[in-house]
């Protein structure tokens, strides 16, 4: 039978994960956790903290049609975005990269 972890136990695990520098997959394996469940708790605690790893990107207010290439690098993962992209989508991409790395 699986034992259920308390809110405080998950909080401690997420804190240990944040300090570890490991990927979600590696930390989950090492601690016998289901990765998808662990990701849920990482998200829950990151939503409830004042400091977020995500940066809100404000779109330009000018009417110019200029586009800029965007390069996002998180640990060893690199993504290059060419053209126009919504700032909310960029935030979601960064969030996923933070989970995977």
Output the DSSP codes for 15-77: HHHHHH---HHHHHHHTT--HHHHHHHHHHHHHTSSS-S--PPPPP-S-------EEEEETTE
Band (pLDDT 50/70/90 cuts) for residue 44 is: confident
11 alpha carbon, distance to own chain's centre: 16
φ, ψ dihedrals at 25, nearest 5°: -60, -45
- Can you name the residues that pair with 51 across neighbouring β-strands? none
As a whole number, mean pLDDT of residues 27-41 equals 91
Q: Where are the domains of the chain?
A: 1-52, 59-101
| pTM for this model (two decimals) | 0.46
pLDDT at 9: 92
pLDDT digits (tens, 9 = 90+) for 58-87: 555 555 555 567 777 766 677 777 777 777
């Amino acid at each position: 039978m699986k034992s259920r972890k308390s809110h405080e136990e998950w909080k401690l695990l997420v804190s240990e994960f944040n300090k570890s520098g490991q990927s979600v997959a590696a930390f989950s394996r090492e601690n016998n956790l289901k990765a998808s469940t662990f990701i849920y708790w990482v998200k829950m605690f990151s939503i409830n903290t004042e400091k977020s790893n995500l940066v809100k990107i404000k779109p330009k207010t000018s009417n110019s049609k200029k586009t800029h290439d965007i390069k996002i690098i998180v640990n060893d993962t690199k993504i290059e975005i060419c053209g126009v992209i919504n700032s909310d989508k960029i935030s979601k991409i960064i969030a996923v990269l933070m989970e995977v790395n």
